Amino acid sequence: MSLNEKFKFSERNTTLGTEIIAGITTFVTMSYIVIVNPSVLNKAGMDFNGVFIATILAAVIGTLIMGLVANYPIAIAPGLGMNAYFAFVIVLGMGIPWQSALGSVFIASVVFLLLSLTSFREALIDAIPTSLKAGISAGIGLFIAFIGMQNAHLVAPSPATIITLGNFSEPVAYMTLLGLFITIVLLVNEVPAAIFLGMVITAVVSFLMGFIPLPSAVFSMPTGLENTFMQMDLADAFSPNLFAIIFTFFLVTLFDTTGTMIGVASQAGLMKNGKFPNVRSALMADAVASTCGSLLGTSPTSAYVESGSGVAAGGRTGFTSVVVAVLFCFMLFLAPIAQVLAAVPAVTSPALIVVGFLMMGSLNQIDWHNVEESLPAFFVLFWMPLSYSITNGVGAGLISYPLIKIFRGKFRQVHPLLYIFMVLFIIQFIMMNH
């Protein structure tokens, strides 16, 4: 079978050359994750090199399945937001070992994998109102932007006001501001790979100013995976205090992945009568990648909205994804450079802040004039960053939405699954306080 027949180049009005360019474009725009993800999970005590390799392998597995089986120009990799939740909330905030957190990721991924084979997935997506889905996405955006600002010392703890403006005379703060400014200039001028190029330029300037040392080498053989591979603790992950965490991993991954896939497929003109063809294979790609990622040693994967840059460059088939996966393989040998860059918050923090901003775009899906819909979304948006927990934000929304509908006499408008979620989160919050 030729490439044209396998990937349907003619049917989708594309060519091999166009698909290669699209794949390169998508890869460059999302390649920041191989630096940012190990940097975030390293703060949770995980080995940098192990997470670096796990990040790349999970991306390669998911993106290859997306390309070869689902035939979509959508790339998969560990998602920003879920890695921050993993490191800062579960491990550092709750004091849960990263091995147990990995076990939670594995369980949630297996559930996601099994449900991707059934119609229950569609029922679950339909059960959650659009306003809450949008609030969850935007809330995660605020959360990771807040973490980026903390890492860069742009905000700092205050005994009087809990948090206040940071000291901009610190090198990490003013170099982050410089990196943020550079990234924003590139972004508003619609420069491809603005986030990645912003990191590179900031790194070069930081090196010239003496803030970044030269790496010990440019290339090296991949090492360190043994420090994270199969290190998950499944026994502890089944403990009652982790049920809400497993549920949050599953829920957020489901909505984030589905929403991104639909958005990119629509941009590429691949939706048919409002339906997503071959959706099970597409969801399977992410579910398998998350499952393998937890075994390898990384947080959940997600479909990347940066795939839209490849679609804008003409990508219409899964060959775009195949090119992305191949390019990720080459990154396996660049660990020394990634480790030096990841050690400098001024290089990675602007990426967190800008991606957080981009995730806020979902707020336009909320009808702010309808209090019944917008108030629960506001609670999600409000509680995530301020309680430093995605779980708390999701729980606040899934409790308040059914309650508001009940007291408005519209309880029949609420899907029965939402009442189950409401009860489960109420139990979870009660248990947290005891």
- Pick the more confident residue, 118 or 164: 164
Q: Is the pLDDT of residue 411 over 90?
A: no
Q: Tell me: the pLDDT tens digits for 317-331?
A: 999 999 999 999 999
Report how far apart, in Å, the C-alpha atoms of 109 and of each of 41, 202, 204, 209, 312 are.
Answer: 18, 36, 38, 44, 30
Q: What pLDDT band is residue 225 in, cutting at 50, 70 and 90?
A: very high
| Average pLDDT estimate for 295-304 | 92
DSSP state for residue 213 in the 8-state scheme:
P
Range in 81-90, 96-105, 124-133, 292-301 the model is least confident about: 124-133
pLDDT of residue 212: 80
Q: What pLDDT band is residue 85 in, cutting at 50, 70 and 90?
A: confident
For the chain, the average pLDDT equals 86
Domain boundaries, the chain: 3-432
Q: Is the pLDDT of residue 434 over 60?
A: no
How many other C-beta atoms can be found within 10 angstroms of the C-beta atom of residue 272? 9
Q: Which amino acid is at 423?
A: V
- Closest Cα partner for 148 from 305, 384, 346? 346
Number of helices and strands (H, E) in the chain? Answer: 20, 4
Distance between CA atoms of residues 419 and 411, nearest Å: 10
Q: Tell me: the pLDDT tens digits for 185-204?
A: 998 998 877 888 888 899 88
Cα angle: 329, vertex 20, 302; to 5 degrees: 55
| Residues in the chain, total | 434
| Average pLDDT estimate for 53-60 | 96
- Per cent of the chain over pLDDT 90 is 33
Distance between CA atoms of residues 103 and 238, nearest Å: 8
| DSSP characters over 117-147 | TSSHHHHHHHHS-HHHHHHHHHHHHHHHHHH
Enter the tokens of residue 140. 């995660």
Q: Write the secondary structure of 283-318 as one string of H (helix), E (strand) and C (coil).
A: HHHHHHHHHHHHHHCCCCEEECCCHHHHHHCCCCCH
Cα first-last separation, the chain: 62
Say whether 343 sits in a helix, a strand or coil. Answer: coil
Alpha helices in 43-170 (DSSP H): 48-65, 82-84, 98-115, 120-127, 130-151
Strand partners, 156: 164
- Closest Cα partner for 30 from 149, 194, 151, 188? 194
Q: Is the pLDDT of residue 115 over 90?
A: no
Say whether 272 sits in a helix, a strand or coil. Answer: strand
Q: Is the pLDDT of residue 120 over 80?
A: no
pLDDT of residue 363: 87
Q: Are strands 155-158 and 162-165 parallel, antiparallel or unpaired?
A: antiparallel
Say which residue the tokens 């088939």 belong to: 317
Q: What pLDDT band is residue 433 in, cutting at 50, 70 and 90?
A: low
Distance between CA atoms of residues 265 and 283, nearest Å: 13
Distance between CA atoms of residues 333 and 102, nearest Å: 25
pLDDT of residue 346: 87
Say which residue the tokens 């560990």 belong to: 78
pLDDT of residue 389: 76
Distance between CA atoms of residues 415 and 418, nearest Å: 6
Burial of 196-220, coded b for 16+ CB within 10 Å and e otherwise, reads bbbbebbbebbeeeebbeebeeeeb
Report how far apart, in Å, the C-alpha atoms of 318 and of each of 1, 62, 242, 251, 292 are.
Answer: 15, 12, 36, 26, 21
Enter the tokens of residue 379. 């609670």
Cα radius of gyration (the chain): 21
Enter the tokens of residue 349. 């923090």
Enter the tokens of residue 319. 């060959």
Distance between CA atoms of residues 373 and 366, nearest Å: 7
- pTM over the 0.95 mark: no
Enter the tokens of residue 366. 């909320």
Q: Is the pLDDT of residue 66 over 90?
A: yes
Q: What pLDDT band is residue 148 in, cutting at 50, 70 and 90?
A: confident
User: Sign of the C-alpha dihedral, residues 386, 389, 392, 393?
Assistant: positive
Q: How far, rounded to the nearest angstrom, does the alpha carbon of residue 6 sit from its chain's CA centroid? A: 30
